[in-house]
Structure 1
Amino acid sequence: MKAAVLHGKNDIRCEEIDKPFAGEGEVIIEVKVTGICGSDLPRVLGNGAHYYPIVLGHEFSGVVCEVGPGVTNVSLGDRIAGAPLVPCHRCTDCQEGHYSQCTNYTFIGSRIPGSWAEYVKIPAMNAVVLPEEVSFEEGAFFEPSTVALHGLFVSDFRPGFDSAVLGCGTIGQLTIQWLRILGANHIYAFDIDNEKLSLAQRFGADVCINTANGDYAEIKKVIGNACIMYVFETAGVPYTQKLSLEIAANKATVCYIGTPVKDITLEPALFEKILRKELALKGSWMSYSAPFPGREWTLTGDAFKKGLLKIEPMIYRRFPLESISEAFELYQTPLSVKGKVLLISR
């Protein structure tokens, strides 16, 4: 089969490799659409891969084309989205339904071969059947959608309160959509890119604030006396990580979804805000709950089926798998990439 194989830093090649076969409890998926995630960038452009050579890709949809022994939950020809986490299902955390905290896990597309290929092997329980109304492109957005929704769940989000999203990349835009779907009052969106803020407004943000100049006094003038009770940080950079504590109301919940990229230092006065405001700080990691893979995945399917989640405005470019090197040329200047890049089967 054809696959995009990463051989080293910035060395990705589309080449022929052996097609996988389904073992006990496994299925083979003919990949139709797969995405490039922000977490893939340091693996391809840096030294973030676990080993070489490797096939990456963990946001994907496709068709079940081979079923291994003992599989009962899916059948040949089923259209599915793939859940990439493969927990052990035996440790204490797994037994509690805390699959993201499994210490014995593996992961499709970072630790074992992923979806940047014509075919990918996955455990059958990781196959989420797509409703008829849901497209393969929407299926490839299941994983980032569930990451956003999981953040709301770990924050014990309740409708009717003002909320904020800092960072309007893919996860941020999906967080804004879920906040609107689940009944947030006013939604505040923060980013340094006016195009992303314009899209956030289309998705339901009531107030969009460009933070490029970093002037908190100006930001404070815009938000005024807003009582922002839920803050979701999705950018993973020190500025927004700190700003989250500044804009949060007393007794608010601040949820960190974005993976950090640099060291962060909290000055005593800023750290004290956590104490004085009695903030609840939450970390959100991946997107799973019991029964595996979780309600994040079933609710994403329902939201797409009902037309509540929108992805088309978030798609920046589409490439065939064999043009993946061309796709990664875009990321040499990452700020120029204005949305999700998808790899589409011919």
Structure 2
Amino acid sequence: MKAAVLYAPNEIRVEEIDIPVLESYEILVKVKATGICGSDLPRVLGEAAHHYPIVLGHEFAGVVDQIGSDVTRVKVGDRVVGVPLKACRQCDDCRSGNYAQCKQYSFIGSRVNGSWAEYVAIPEDNAILFGEDVSFEEAALVEPSAVALHALQLIQFQGGEHVAILGGGNIGLLVLQWARIWGAREVTVFDIDEQRLRTAQLLGADHVINSLNSGSEKEWKSITGGKGFGVVMETAGSDITMRQSFDLAANKAKVCFVGTPVRDLTFSHKQFELMNRKEFTLTGSWMSYSAPFPGKEWETTLHFLRKGQLNFKDIVFKRLDLDQINEAFDLYREPGAVKGKIMLLNR
């Protein structure tokens, strides 16, 4: 089969490798659409890969091509979303339904070969069936949508609050849509890229603020009546936006770090004191899982996709064939060139 194999930082080769041999509990998925995630960037452009060679890719959907001898729930020809986490299911965290905290986990597309290929092998339990009313491209974006929804569920978001979203990237735009579905009073998206802010407006943001503008602080204080935001969702993983979230938070707010930082983060004592003075709650959010595995985040995403209340199409920036994967990463090497999700298709 054709696969995009990472051999070293900045070295992806599209080549022929063996089709995976199935275990009895596994299925072979013919990949139709797969995304490039922000977490893939340091693996390709830096030195964050767990090992080499590796086929990355963990946001994907396709058609079941083969099934193992013990598979009973899935049949050849089914359309499926792939769930990348392979939790041990035996540790205390897994038994408590906290699969993302499993210390013995594996992960499709980072620890074992993933979906930047024509075929990928996954356990039967890691397949979610969907019908023809959802496209393969939309289905491949269920995983990042589940990440966004998981963060809101983690803070027990119930609507009625002014919500600030720091970062208008893919996860930020998905958090925006879920906050609106869940009844946010108003949603304000912060970013430094005007095109991303325009997309946020298209997807329903009540307000957008370019953080580089000198009047940005005056803007958000006007929006909130000087009180700050009751919910602050940091989705960029930037040291700047993580510090900014402390300023934006209202008294007794909920602040959630969804983005993954890529460098050391330092707060001044005055900034950190804001958490004490405001008594806001700060938490992180990791992946997209709950009990029963893989969690309601996944089926809920498919439900609202079918109802037409989630818009994935306007998040997609570019569609490329798998053969063109190095063209995609040439774009990532140009600061500010990528304005949304890049999808890789097997056509």
1:288-327 equivalences in 2 (<5 Å)? 288-327=289-328
Moved over 3 A (4+): 213-224
Q: Letter of the aligned partner of 2:130 in structure 1?
A: L
Query: What's the offset of the Cα at 1:245?
Result: 1.1
Hey, what's the Cα distance between the residues in 1 that align with 2:89 and 2:37?
26
Q: Specify every segment of 5 or more residues in structure 1 that has no aligned partner in the other structure, as ranges.
A: none
Do the aligned partners of 2:150 and 2:289 also contact (CA within 8 Å) in 1?
A: yes
Which deviates the most, 206-215 or 38-47? Answer: 206-215
The CA RMSD over aligned residues, in Å, is: 1.3
User: What is the number of residues matched between the two proteins?
Assistant: 346
Aligned twin of 1:245 = 246
1:181-196 equivalences in 2 (<5 Å)? 181-196=181-196
1:120-199 equivalences in 2 (<5 Å)? 120-199=120-199
Query: What's the offset of the Cα at 1:70?
Result: 1.6
Residues 47 and 197 of structure 1: CA distance in aligned 2, closer, same or farther (over 3 Å): same
Aligned twin of 1:256 = 257
Deviations 1:206-233 (A, max 9, x none): 1111002477644554434155211100
1:1-346 equivalences in 2 (<5 Å)? 1-213=1-213, 217-225=217-225, 226-346=227-347
SS at match of 2:252: coil
SS at match of 2:251: coil
Do the aligned partners of 1:131 and 1:305 also contact (CA within 8 Å) in 2?
A: no
Hey, what's the Cα distance between the residues in 2 that align with 1:154 and 1:73?
30
Query: What's the offset of the Cα at 1:73?
Result: 2.0
Residues 165 and 264 of structure 1: CA distance in aligned 2, closer, same or farther (over 3 Å): same
Do the aligned partners of 2:162 and 2:224 also contact (CA within 8 Å) in 1?
A: no
Hey, what's the Cα distance between the residues in 2 that align with 1:26 and 1:267?
50
Which deviates the most, 132-141 or 169-178? Answer: 132-141
Hey, what's the Cα distance between the residues in 2 that align with 1:217 and 1:204?
22
SS at match of 1:250: strand
Q: Letter of the aligned partner of 1:260 in structure 2?
A: P
Which deviates the most, 248-257 or 318-327? Answer: 318-327
Hey, what's the Cα distance between the residues in 1 that align with 2:220 and 2:301?
34
SS at match of 1:19: coil
Hey, what's the Cα distance between the residues in 2 that align with 1:217 and 1:174?
24
Q: Specify every segment of 5 or more residues in structure 2 that has no aligned partner in the other structure, as ranges.
A: none
Hey, what's the Cα distance between the residues in 2 that align with 1:306 and 1:221?
35
Query: What's the offset of the Cα at 1:43?
Result: 0.7
Residues 151 and 125 of structure 1: CA distance in aligned 2, closer, same or farther (over 3 Å): same
Do the aligned partners of 1:232 and 1:256 also contact (CA within 8 Å) in 2?
A: yes
Do the aligned partners of 1:30 and 1:118 also contact (CA within 8 Å) in 2?
A: yes
The TM-score normalised by the length of structure 2 is 0.97
SS at match of 1:343: strand
Q: Letter of the aligned partner of 1:324 in structure 2?
A: I
Do the aligned partners of 1:211 and 1:219 also contact (CA within 8 Å) in 2?
A: no
Residues 59 and 260 of structure 1: CA distance in aligned 2, closer, same or farther (over 3 Å): same
Q: Letter of the aligned partner of 2:252 in structure 1?
A: K
Hey, what's the Cα distance between the residues in 2 that align with 1:96 and 1:215?
47
The TM-score normalised by the length of structure 1 is 0.97
Q: Letter of the aligned partner of 1:123 in structure 2?
A: P
SS at match of 1:33: strand
Identity %: 53
Query: What's the offset of the Cα at 1:21?
Result: 2.1
SS at match of 2:311: coil
Residues 156 and 96 of structure 1: CA distance in aligned 2, closer, same or farther (over 3 Å): same
Q: Letter of the aligned partner of 1:181 in structure 2?
A: I
Q: Letter of the aligned partner of 1:303 in structure 2?
A: F
Hey, what's the Cα distance between the residues in 2 that align with 1:215 and 1:51?
46
Hey, what's the Cα distance between the residues in 2 that align with 1:217 and 1:314?
27
Query: What's the offset of the Cα at 1:131?
Result: 3.2
SS at match of 1:236: coil
Q: Letter of the aligned partner of 1:167 in structure 2?
A: G
Hey, what's the Cα distance between the residues in 1 that align with 2:221 and 2:249?
15
